[in-house]
Structure 1
Amino acid sequence: MTELVDLTERLVAIPSHEDATAAGDAIETWLRAETDARVDRDAVGNVLAYRETTDEPAGDTLALVGHHDVVPPADRQTTGEGVDGEYVVERRDGRLRGRGTADMKGALAACLLAFRDATPPAGRTLAFASFVGEEDGGVGARHAIGEGFAPDRAIVAEGSTGYSAPGVTDVAVAHKGRRGSTLVASGTAAHASEPEAGANAIYRASDAIDIVRGLDAPAATVRGESVTGSLAVTLVSGGETWNVIPERCEVTVDERTVPGDRADLGRVEGTVTGVEWTVDQDLPPMACEDADFADAALAVAREVHAGRGLDDASTADSPEHVVKPHATDAGWLASAGTACLICGAAEPGQAHTDTESVGIDVLERCQRIYRGICERAV
């Protein structure tokens, strides 16, 4: 436990919301000191490492994947003025508290130790990747993929604890994506006393919104688990002053996509005069199509849980295959052909908060799960 907690505390203390270089340096240094892996640092700051079997031809590559950038800390989470100081990390009540403990330097530390300690089956290459820019649309993952990072399978160490039951570390076989769109309604300005002389962009936007409200949300099924997306107008902006017919109105649409299905937003552009649809962000969903991998990972998670020796059945429930609602770097990897699963220590409601924390016992469990998956033949 001490090594895992100490490594987590060391990584969490390093600021990485604006510049993740120092955190990447620490990870790279640890890998070079603690393993005989081939370690690479790419042009954007990703840290990649490979442990290759020397006496057997490479059969498959399994990667443990995380990220070392974080969202900006709250004032209480830093020792300096504003958000400029070293991050505060506290060990209290069986938990580590501070920015990045849950999302996701704790799980990253567990990945590092599992990567070092695992004895993989003959012919398997173990890979480790810690990306930058996950919180900024997958900048690091997209760069690495573009440069040839293509493991056959990957465990992405985002949070999956507490989905099927409190305290249970589940295995997510799918997650939603996020497509952010803007509908721009254009009209013709006129004095409000003569509205018929113009074309009201807000009215056109309202017609577009009515169509959005009538669209079906996307839905899919992955490994028997239902994945249901959503569609919502989240922002409307139009008009300049009280006595002018508006000539422009913008509508922001948040859509949570699912594997293989999306809402038909293009219908708006083709139906309402003067409305254009543009996509501002498109984070892909993820679905694991490798049933053997999904089942093997779940078996490991269940074995680790069963070995905890807990008497309280309410906290010793068996892990399940679940669906994660949030987009992660697994979406980019899956889109490039990697079979991905998500398994990690963070619980719902912990990431990106000013009270962010993670259970030390859950980090230990994740370390054992990661090592077990690395050692399990699929």
Structure 2
Amino acid sequence: MFRFTDYGEEDAIRLCKELVRIESTDPGSYEGRISEYIYETLRQELGADGVRLCRSEVLTGRRNLLAELPGSSAPAGSGKEEPALVLICHMDTVVAGEGWSEETGGPFSAAERDGRIYGRGSCDMKSGLACALTAFCREAGERRLRQGEKAPEKYRTLRFIASVDEEDFMRGAERVIRDGWVSASDWVMDLEPTDGRIQNCHKGRVWFEAEAEGVTAHASMPEQGTDAILALSYFICALREEVAKLPEDERMGRTTITFGQITGGYRPYVVPDHAKVWIDLRTVPPTDSRMLRELLGRAERAATEKVPGSKFRILLTGDRQSIPPCPKSRLLQSLRQAVREATGEEAVVSLFPGYTDTAVIAGTLGNENCLSYGPGKLRLAHKPNEYVDISDIRRVMRVLRCLLREPLR
């Protein structure tokens, strides 16, 4: 477990390093060790004084964590209570991958060089996780100290959630919703890397698998077979052209497509009778999965015309809607004020190009107070020599202090 000293910036920096050293790759080691580490840290820090601390198993050996400090604004169920502030961070990272330099010490070294912490997850998002956990424990301690005051200050319920599976199918966020850990009225903030910006809208994320079928034949007589790889190649080219024609959103940009994985064939001397591609689309309004199915159908027809006898099976495997900006969000206004107080600057509000736990919550519950703000730069995530600037951790800790100390209206 981690032992805090003063719950300040230095603690958050040390905790970030400790979390990076615990491998939690997905797929790979997953979140078992880091989940236990965080749970024991919370149990040691918070005890049982009015703090709710629980776990929920999402997948075998993979459990979400919740810690909650109850608010004092109004009795629960009175209809007058302020929304809870929820800090949600995922514990898993992508795989370590190749290409790490000796200077950075490898993916789990948490080496500090030139004001940076290196390692897998340092940016996405163990630095944000460290900030949220440190700020939550600091707030718990400060509330205990204020309990004896004659005119105690009112404060909102504060929840810390550590989730699993964000780097895959986001089943951790889905379970958070089913378990009732968040509601449509809560203020929900993840601490993903946002490069100093507040990001309050998301492109959608739609996944398809497309499989082409052909007929095997000897490579010396290809006319006797039907080349599935060739058919799939025409399909990919046609689909890319179709996506390029989709309408652009003024705020969120264009729908993009990535063919992230492809397999097919047996041996170089056999005409392949199968090939498969995994497709990732990041959508902007008005594009949705229904429109994309029509595009895939046109691409399929174009491919089968080029390669007669080929057939396709297309499966929708993921459908996350785009989340439009909500400029009237109360959380957005409060966070902008906290950034202003902590940094002396106005925060830029922009699009988050990926998909996060808060986007799942916003899309499922219709919650307009969901956004992202955390340390690090998203362009460094998932890459070799991933790092986070220590100055970013310091900035986010200052912003969290201002946000958590905001007086209730």
- Measured against the shorter chain, the TM-score band is 0.7 to 0.9
Q: Which residue of 2 aligns with 1:27?
A: 38
Q: Which residue of 2 aligns with 1:179?
A: 206
Q: Which residue of 2 aligns with 1:276?
A: 313
**Cα distance in 2 between the residues matched to 1:138 and 1:26:** 21
* Identity in percent: 28
Pick closer, same or farther for the CA change 1:53–1:20 going to 2, 3 Å: same
Do residues 39 (structure 1) and 39 (structure 2) align? Answer: no
1:323 to 351, 354, 371: 351
Tell me the amino acid that sits aligned with residue 69 of structure 2: R
Tell me the amino acid that sits aligned with residue 179 of structure 2: E
Q: Which residue of 1 aligns with 2:280?
A: 254
**Cα distance in 1 between the residues matched to 2:248 and 2:173:** 25
**Cα distance in 1 between the residues matched to 2:373 and 2:82:** 23
Tell me the amino acid that sits aligned with residue 120 of structure 2: R
**Cα distance in 1 between the residues matched to 2:232 and 2:379:** 34
Contact persistence 2:119–2:386 (CA under 8 A): yes
**Cα distance in 2 between the residues matched to 1:175 and 1:184:** 29
Q: Which residue of 1 aligns with 2:116?
A: 95
Deviation digits for residues 90-144 of structure 1 (CA, Å, limit 9, x no counterpart):
3332222233222222211211232234489846211110112222322322222
**Cα distance in 2 between the residues matched to 1:69 and 1:245:** 40
Do residues 229 (structure 1) and 252 (structure 2) align? Answer: no
Contact persistence 2:68–2:158 (CA under 8 A): yes
Do residues 358 (structure 1) and 353 (structure 2) align? Answer: no
Pick closer, same or farther for the CA change 1:375–1:251 going to 2, 3 Å: same
SS of aligned partner of 2:68? strand
SS of aligned partner of 1:33? helix
CA shift for structure 1 position 335: 2.0
Contact persistence 1:220–1:227 (CA under 8 A): yes
CA shift for structure 1 position 64: 0.6
**Cα distance in 2 between the residues matched to 1:67 and 1:229:** 26
SS of aligned partner of 2:120? coil
1:142 to 174, 181, 200: 174
Contact persistence 2:73–2:82 (CA under 8 A): no
SS of aligned partner of 1:291? coil
SS of aligned partner of 2:157? strand
Q: Superposition pairs for residues 294-305 of structure 1, below 5 Å? A: 294-305=332-343
Q: Superposition pairs for residues 126-165 of structure 1, below 5 Å? A: 126-151=158-183, 152-161=186-195
Contact persistence 1:45–1:131 (CA under 8 A): yes
CA shift for structure 1 position 361: 1.9
Deviation digits for residues 30-84 of structure 1 (CA, Å, limit 9, x no counterpart):
3233344211111232111111124622331220111222234468699xxx98x
Contact persistence 1:181–1:253 (CA under 8 A): yes
1:6 to 6, 11, 14: 14
**Cα distance in 2 between the residues matched to 1:49 and 1:264:** 40
SS of aligned partner of 1:56? coil
**Cα distance in 1 between the residues matched to 2:379 and 2:355:** 15
SS of aligned partner of 2:63? coil
Q: Which residue of 2 aligns with 1:52?
A: 70
User: 5+ unaligned residues in a row in structure 2: which ranges?
Assistant: 1-8, 76-80, 144-152, 305-310
CA shift for structure 1 position 366: 0.6
User: What is the TM-score of this pair, normalised by structure 1?
Assistant: 0.79
CA shift for structure 1 position 282: 4.1
Q: How many aligned residue pairs are there? A: 354
User: What is the TM-score of this pair, normalised by structure 2?
Assistant: 0.74
Pick closer, same or farther for the CA change 1:188–1:154 going to 2, 3 Å: same
User: 5+ unaligned residues in a row in structure 1: which ranges?
Assistant: 162-168, 307-316
Q: Which residue of 2 aligns with 1:312?
A: none
Pick closer, same or farther for the CA change 1:333–1:199 going to 2, 3 Å: same
Tell me the amino acid that sits aligned with residue 38 of structure 1: R
Pick closer, same or farther for the CA change 1:59–1:196 going to 2, 3 Å: same
Pick closer, same or farther for the CA change 1:242–1:302 going to 2, 3 Å: same
The root-mean-square deviation of aligned C-alpha atoms, in Å, is: 3.5
Contact persistence 1:286–1:330 (CA under 8 A): no
Contact persistence 1:204–1:275 (CA under 8 A): no
Q: Which residue of 2 aligns with 1:289?
A: 326
Do residues 214 (structure 1) and 241 (structure 2) align? Answer: yes
More strand by percentage: 1
Tell me the amino acid that sits aligned with residue 92 of structure 2: D
**Cα distance in 2 between the residues matched to 1:129 and 1:248:** 43
**Cα distance in 2 between the residues matched to 1:197 and 1:73:** 44
Contact persistence 2:54–2:65 (CA under 8 A): yes
Do residues 104 (structure 1) and 125 (structure 2) align? Answer: yes
